[in-house]
Amino acid sequence: MELESYIVNAFADSPGRGNRAGVVVSPEHPPEEAMQLVAADIGASETAFIAPDGMLWNIRWFSPVKEMPLCGHATLAASRVLFGKEPWSDGLVFRYAGGTLPVRRHADDSIGMDFPLDDYLRFPPDPAFDAFFGPLHLKDCICGSRTKKVILVTGEETDLAAISPNFTGMAEYRGLCSSGIAVTKASAVYDFESRYFNPWAGVNEDPVTGSVHTVLARYWSEELKKRSLTAFQNSWRSGRLLLEVGDDTVEIRGKARIVLQGTFFL
């Protein structure tokens, strides 16, 4: 089987930046076991598999080790591929297990995706967090109601880029944050910054993450009393996200660049 495949830098418009995603386009989805093998070989934090379904596109996301329920950067990458195929189009809709994801292309060639806005619950810090990151002087701890992603809020004085997590200890932990964990703070340059880690999905650090911003957007919108937010994910392949917070959805907006196109031989 030959599969049309791409590598796309999401939330970036240059090589070596943003979050690298795989995109595989086929008339129908390959078997699940095959998609997992392809994702493992591509080796990106997530690979999006897309197949046409009438006026919509079915989409599924796989990390190198398991299927993911939702992925922002690989959806952005898939959108860039499809808009490249249909340059006259400025909108499309993906269907996934949880519903639909409308996507639109803006005048500056950025792409906006409407994701479900996640609510959150506060909880006391787990002592394991200090073992993961060292003392962070936390101001808040929250967990996404739908995504189950844990977010640790620290002070603006914290240097997020200097955090060196204990990934071995994280991977061995089985508890609240095993769906992924982020550290975030308010920023003097952007509205807020973050880093995101998910060794439980085979990805120690995800460079720029759309799905965690469904929680971050609600939290910082409420904290800062703003609907339009600029976010910066401060990883080694950093990226900027524009967020427009609605009542039930958040538009996650960014640019993407195709850096490799070819055929995967399955």
pLDDT tens-digit map of 206-227: 999 999 999 999 999 999 999 9
Residue ranges of the alpha helices (H) in the chain? 32-42, 72-85, 128-133, 167-172, 213-224
12/111 same-domain check: yes
Separation of alpha carbons 107 and 124, rounded Å: 44
pLDDT of residue 53: 96
Sign of the CA dihedral with 106 first, then 231, 235, and 42 last: negative
pLDDT of residue 257: 96
State the catalytic residues: 46
Residue 20, Cβ neighbours under 10 Å: how many? 25
130/19 same-domain check: no
Identity (one letter) of the amino acid at 266? Answer: L
259/213 same-domain check: no
Mean pLDDT of 53-76: 97
pLDDT tens-place string over residues 66-76: 999 999 999 99
160/185 same-domain check: yes
126/241 same-domain check: yes
134/89 same-domain check: no
Of 194, 205, 179, nearest to 239 by C-alpha is 194
153/67 same-domain check: no
Sign of the CA dihedral with 31 first, then 199, 80, and 245 last: positive
pLDDT tens-place string over residues 250-261: 999 999 999 999
Structural domain of 112: 2-116+252-265
pLDDT of residue 177: 83
Separation of alpha carbons 189 and 230, rounded Å: 9
pLDDT at 245 over 90: yes
Which CATH number is 95's domain given? Answer: 3.10.310.10
127/232 same-domain check: yes
Of 144, 119, 145, 120, nearest to 248 by C-alpha is 119
95/163 same-domain check: no
Q: Is residue 96 packed enough to be buried (19+ CB in 10 Å), middle (13-18) or exposed (0-12)?
A: middle
Q: How many domains does the chain have?
A: 2
Separation of alpha carbons 250 and 115, rounded Å: 5
pLDDT of residue 178: 82
107/184 same-domain check: no
pLDDT tens-place string over residues 15-31: 889 999 999 999 999 99
233/136 same-domain check: yes
Work out the mean pLDDT of the chain and round it to a whole number: 96
Q: What's the DSSP call for residue 161?
A: G
231/161 same-domain check: yes
